[in-house]
Amino acid sequence: MFVRIIPALFFLIFSLINTSHAESGNVPEPPKLEATQYLLIDFLSGTELAAKDPDKRIEPASITKLMTAYILYQELEKGNISVDDRVIVSQKAWKMEGSRMFLEAGKKVPLGRMISGLIIQSGNDSAIALAEHIAGSEENFVRKMNDEAARLGMTNTNFVNVTGWPNPRHYMSARDIAILTRTVISEYPEHYEMYKEKEYSYNGIKQYNRNKLLWHDKTVDGVKTGHTESAGYCLLASAQRGSMRLISIVLGADSDKTRTNYSQQLLEYGFRFFETHKLYDANSVLTEARVWKGTQSKVPTGILEDFYVTIPKGHYSQLKGLMEIHKSIDAPVKRGDVIGTAIIRDLDRIVLQKPLVAMDSVDAGGTWTNISDTVKKVFVE
């Protein structure tokens, strides 16, 4: 239960003030695209700016390889593998159809080169070879992929292979793809740099990154294309202009040109009509909350992560915020326990809500404190 108590000392109503006086105005409707599914979000705030069926389960084709790469980055970070490893190319990897790095069966290839083939050339052969090197088999690697999807909250995702090869039990949603993309960019920025590379040569064959936006828009620096007959043409793109990064996902377009145009339309819409602001740093204390039956009567309350908001351009001066704290908080309280909500409004519209958490722990008090606070609560509540 939430309660808003304006006079209470441990509640705070705050205003976000900007010296400019922006004019109000409605944001135009987002583009209507003839794709099966699409989504546009802000990277920092996670705010959804345009969408069509973002939770629908759909074949992701080679966008699958973003999860393949994510597991790879984790293994590199743990020290379980190295870019200098020599990866043996199995018959299964060599025979794999679709986009390829053109590996040769039986050869040992530096793992670092295979990463480039996976990301830039979208090599199905390199994806399978890397999975076998890391987990012993593609099936074992897929279990890691599904475990990570569950951990990240990707509730409309199930992987059957590491390549995105068509299978009715292999699916993702646009929203799940966005979750994974934000994770990869934030956790592994050094590896994300490779997604903007336009070409790569191996075995005497030069191939080009299939993300045509890398040539059309210099602010685009990734991420991944996908195409099969059943999935249509898919494009996961990200661009950064100034401090603002957007992620667009287009699934099921009818051509390479169409997916590129649709993605550009979404990105232009987001950058043209919205802006993102950082309101608070991680671990900021915003107010205090009353705690009953504890060794302390108050606990500092705030947020553990950076707090961003994405709003229509010119609306920053209109933002107002308030904090709602749970009624009747009893000790013990642990750091990180959710004890309220921070709400940001743009006039009468809620634009963002974030959980408020205890920034310290409060242990349970003794018998006398318990009795005394029990009596006090009767007159307060």
Query: DSSP assignment, residue 75?
Result: H
What tokens appear for 142 in the block? 């897929």
CA-closest candidate to residue 236, choices 144, 189, 173, 307: 173
342 in helix, strand or coil? Answer: strand
Measured CA to CA, the distance from residue 227 to residue 61 in angstroms comes to: 6
Evaluate whether 235 touches 250 at the Cβ level (below 8 Å).
yes
Q: Is the dihedral of CA 161, 166, 171, 172 positive or negative?
A: positive
Give the DSSP per-residue string, 132-193.
HHHHSSHHHHHHHHHHHHHHTT-TT-B-S-SS----TT-BB-HHHHHHHHHHHHHH-HHHHG
How far is CA 193 from its chain centroid?
17
**In this structure, how many other beta carbons lie within 10 angstroms of the beta carbon of residue 34?**
11
The residue annotated as part of the active site, out of 52, 65, 144, 293, is: 65
Instruction: Identify whether 45 is a catalytic site residue.
Output: no
The residue annotated as part of the active site, out of 116, 122, 173, 297, is: 122
Measured CA to CA, the distance from residue 53 to residue 47 in angstroms comes to: 16
The residue annotated as part of the active site, out of 45, 62, 238, 297, is: 62
Instruction: Identify whether 320 is a catalytic site residue.
Output: no
312, amino acid identity: P
Give the DSSP per-residue string, 258-307.
HHHHHHHHHHHHHHHHEEEEEEE-TTEEEEEEEEESBSSSEEEEEESS-E
CA-closest candidate to residue 226, choices 267, 184, 174: 174
Instruction: Identify whether 377 is a catalytic site residue.
Output: no
What tokens appear for 210 in the block? 């299939």
Residues serving a catalytic function are 62, 65, 122
